[in-house]
A and B are shown apart, each in its own frame.
Chain A
Amino acid sequence: MAAHNNSAANHPLLEVNPPLVLGGQSYHDVTESVSSISEGKTPKQWYILISITASITVMLFGMLAYLVANGIGVWGNNAPVYWAWDITNFVFWIGIGHAGTLISAILFLFRQKWRTSINRSAEAMTLFAVACAMIFPLFHTGRPWRAAYWLGPTPNPDLVMWQNFRSPLMWDVFAVSTYATVSALFWYVGLVPDLATLRDRARGIRQRIFHIASLGWRGSARHWRNYEMAYLILAGISTPLVLSVHTIVSFDFATSVLPGWHTTIFPPYFVAGAIFSGFACVLTLLIIARWALNLEHLITLKHLENMNKVILVTGWVVGLAYGTEFFIAWYSGNPYEQFVFINRAFGPYAWAYWTMISCNVISPNFFWFKKLRNSIPVMFVLSLVVNVGMWFERFVIIATSLHRDFLPSSWGYFQPTYVDICTFIGTIGLFLTLFLLFCRFLPIIAISEVKGVLAEQRNPGPGVVATSKVVDPKFEPVPVAVGTTEGSGH
C-alpha cells in the first residue's frame, strides 16, 4: 500500500509533527542510550548533586525531629491561621505529582505518542512528590507514629471509637493513600519490561536482582496481551483517580462555610491548577535531565514545546477560575464573600496575591510565541516561575481566608518560623535526592514504549508520514545492523 505512504522526508506535515525519536536510531540504539545511564560509571556531577540534596534532606529530618520533640508550636500556625504552610506544602506537592499521572494515563488514553519519552520520569516524580506531600499532614498530627490508627480505618484503642468518615480530612487519607499506591503500581507495571531489558544486558548479581524485579518477564505475546490490557485499565482508572484526588483535596476547603473556600468551582479548579504546576515541575526536571544525561535525541524540543502548550492552556484555565470566583463573589451579593476577595487583592496579603497573578496568569503568555516555546532558557525560567506562582496560589487561598475571621477581634497575620521554611526546603531536598537515585539506577525512559513509537516511524500505517529518515545532525548513531526501512510492511 505504498501509494498511501507520504514517505518524503520533507513532507509538510513534518514541520508541525516532527519525529518523536530523532537520529535514525535502531531499536538497539534506544536500549543502549537508556540502559547505559544506569550501567556506566557514576559521573562526578551526580555525587556533587546528591551530596547537596542529601544534606538538605538531613536538614528535613532534623526539623521533623525537632517538631516531634517540641510540638506543633515550632511552626508559625496560630489563631486564626491554624492551617498555614503545612497544608500549603501538602497541596503544592500533591499538585506537582498530578502531572505524572496525567502524562502517563490521560495522554495515553488520548493516544498522544509524545508522552513516551517523558512518562517514566514523570511517574517517578509523582511518587516522590506524594511522599513529600504526605510528610505534612502526618507530622501535623504531632505524633506521626500514632497516625496509623488515627487516620487509617482501624479501631482506635485510645478512644475506643471509629474515625469520622463524614470528615473530608478522612476522605483525603483514603484519596492520597490510594493515589500513592496506584501510582506505585502503575510505575512498576511500566518498569517491568524495561527491567527485563536491563537483566538481559547484565551479569552476576545485578542480573539476578533484575530477573527477580522483572518477575521473569520474557515479552511473550500472551504477556503483552494482558499487559496492554492492564496498562489500559490502569490508565483508565488513574484518570478519574487523579481528578478525584485533587477534588477531595479541594473538599478540605470547599465543604466548609468559610468565604473564599466554599465555592463549587473548587474541584475542577484545583485539578487544573495541579496539572499546571505539575507540568511546570516535569519541565524543570526534564530540562536538567536531558542536558545532564545527553538525551536530546529522545526528549526532543517537540516534547518540551508540547509541554509548554499544556502549561499555556492550563494557565488560562486557572486564570478563568480566578475570574469566575471574583465575578461570582460579586454576583452572590454576599458581603463576606465580597470582602474576602477585595481583601485578597488589596489587603495585607496583596503581595502574595499579585505574585500569584503575575506568575500564573501573566507569565505563561510568553508561550504564545513559538520562538519562546522553543527556547530552553526561557522555558526553564518560566517553569520555575509557574512553580512559585502555584505555591503562592495555595498560600493565598489558605492564609487570606483564615486571617480575617468573622470577628475582627480575632484577626491576625501569619508569619512562618524558620522551622516552617527549613521543613519546606527540606522536602525539596528529599524530592531531588529521590529523583537523582532514580535517574542513576533505573531506566529513566520507557524503553519498550519508545521502541513502539520507533516501530511506527519505521513501519508507518497507511497515510502516516514516514519519519525514519529524518536524522538529527547532532546525533551519531551506534553502528548496528538495521533491518528494513519504512513502508515495507504494507
Chain B
Amino acid sequence: MANNHAGLPSPTLGDLVLPKLYSLFGIANKDSLYGAVAEFEDGPQLVAAGAKVKEAGYTKLDALSPFPVHGIDDAIGVPRSILGFIVICIAFCGTFAAFLLMWYTGAYSGPQIPGCELVGLCSYPLVIGGKPLFHWVFGLPIMFELSILFAAFASVIGMFALNGLPRMHHPTFNYSGIHRATDDRFMLVVEASDPKFKAEETLELLRSLGAVHAELVEDK
C-alpha cells in the first residue's frame, strides 16, 4: 500500500519508513484515492456482501465492525493469526531467563565476569536451610511465573504490532460515517490498490449487495 505503482523499482527505505511515521503522528500521507467503503446494518449482511465481493475477484478487502463478526475472516480471506506461535517462543525465553537468574545468582561458582563486583552482579552461592544451591523443584514457581509474564507481554505487544498499532491516522477515518463503525454499523472496505478496483463499478457492486451507504474515501 506504501507503493502501489506497479513496475517501479523496489521502494527505498524512505518510502517504507516515512508513511509509517506520518501515520503514527496522524499526518496524512498523500492525496490519493484509498478505496471504497460500504456500510451495512448487521453482521450477517456484512459477511454475505464480503463473500460476494471476494467471489467477484477482489482481493484487497477489509471490514470494520464494532465487535468481531464471525465468519468474516473466511468471507473476505483473512488468514489465521500467527500470534500463538510467537507467544510460545517468547514464553520459553521466560522459562530460560528465570532458570538463568536463579542458577547464576545462587549456584554459579566459576570465574566471575571482570568488573561485575563494581555493579553488584557477582554470583553468591550460599547454603540456606540445607537446601541445594539450585534444584528444579524450588525453581518451578519462578520459572512458571516468568514464562507467563513473558507470554503476556508477547501477546499484547505482538497483537498491537501485528495490527500495525499504534496508528493515529488511517484513510478509513475519512469515511463520513466512520464513528458508527465502533457503534452499530458494519463497514466493508475495498482498497483502490486492488487490481479489480474501478471506482464507480465497485461502488455500484457494493450498493447492489445491500449497503445502506457507500462512498469513495481519499487518503488525505
Contact = CB atoms under 8 A, between A and B. Distances in A.
Interface of A: 26-28, 31, 153, 155-157, 160-168, 170-171, 174-175, 178, 181-182, 185-186, 188-189, 193, 196-197, 199-201, 211-212, 215-230, 233-234, 237, 240-241, 244, 248, 251, 447-449, 451-452, 455, 458-459, 480, 483-484, 488-489
Contact of B145 (A163, A175, A188): A175
A485 to B, nearest CB: 10
Nearest 3 A/B pairs, CB to CB: A155-B120, A489-B44, A483-B41
Contacts of A186: 152
A216 B182 CA distance: 12
A163 B105 CA distance: 8
Contacts of B45: 483-484
Contacts of B131: 166
9 contacts: A28-B183, A161-B124, A161-B126, A217-B182, A221-B73, A224-B68, A229-B80, A229-B83, A448-B66
B148 A182 contact: yes
B87 interface: yes
Contacts of A197: 66, 182-183
A236 to B, nearest CB: 9
B159 A229 contact: yes
B16 interface: no
A109 B66 CA distance: 22
B11 interface: no
Given A212-B168, A459-B42, A174 B141 contact: yes
B159 A226 contact: yes
Contact of A178 (B81, B149, B178): B149
A212 B183 CA distance: 19
A230 B154 CA distance: 9
A66 B97 CA distance: 39
Contact of B42 (A228, A233, A241, A483): A483
Contacts of A166: 106, 128-129, 131, 138
A244 B142 CA distance: 10
Interface string B113-150: 00001011111101011010000001101101110110
A200 B145 contact: no
Given A166-B129, A200-B181, A244-B148, 12 more contacts: A27-B184, A160-B117, A162-B124, A165-B102, A196-B182, A212-B168, A221-B76, A229-B155, A230-B155, A230-B158, A240-B148, A484-B44
Contacts of B43: 455, 459, 489
Interface in B82-105: 83-84, 87, 91, 101-102, 105
B183 A27 contact: yes
Nearest to B185: A27
Contacts of B169: 216
Contacts of A237: 91, 148, 151-152, 155
A222 B68 CA distance: 10
Main secondary structure on A side of the interface with B: helix
B120 A171 contact: no
Interface in B30-83: 41-45, 47-48, 62-69, 72-73, 76, 78, 80-81, 83
A233 B73 contact: no
A161 B47 CA distance: 61
Nearest to A27: B184
B204 to A, nearest CB: 22
Contact of B165 (A31, A155, A215): A215
B39 to A, nearest CB: 11
Nearest to A224: B68
Nearest to B97: A153
Interface string B166-183: 111110110000111111
Given A162-B105, A215-B165, A215-B166, A221 B72 contact: yes
Contacts of B78: 221-222, 225
A247 B179 CA distance: 46
B27 interface: no
B141 A175 contact: yes
A156 B120 CA distance: 7
A222 B65 CA distance: 11
B173 to A, nearest CB: 7
B21 interface: no
Nearest to A162: B105
Contacts of B153: 185
Given A164-B128, A166-B138, A174-B145, A218 B173 contact: yes
Nearest to A160: B120
Contacts of B160: 215
Contact of A218 (B139, B155, B172, B183): B172
A233 B146 contact: no
A225 B106 contact: no
Contacts of B67: 193, 219, 224, 448-449, 451-452, 455
Could you say which of A153, A163, A218, A449 has the most chain B C-beta atoms within 10 Å of its C-beta? Answer: A218
A241 B91 CA distance: 13
B18 interface: no
A222 B62 contact: yes
A357 B159 CA distance: 46
A13 to B, nearest CB: 22
Contacts of B28: none
Nearest to A453: B67
A226 B168 CA distance: 19
Contact of B146 (A156, A174, A452): A174
Contacts of A216: 165-170
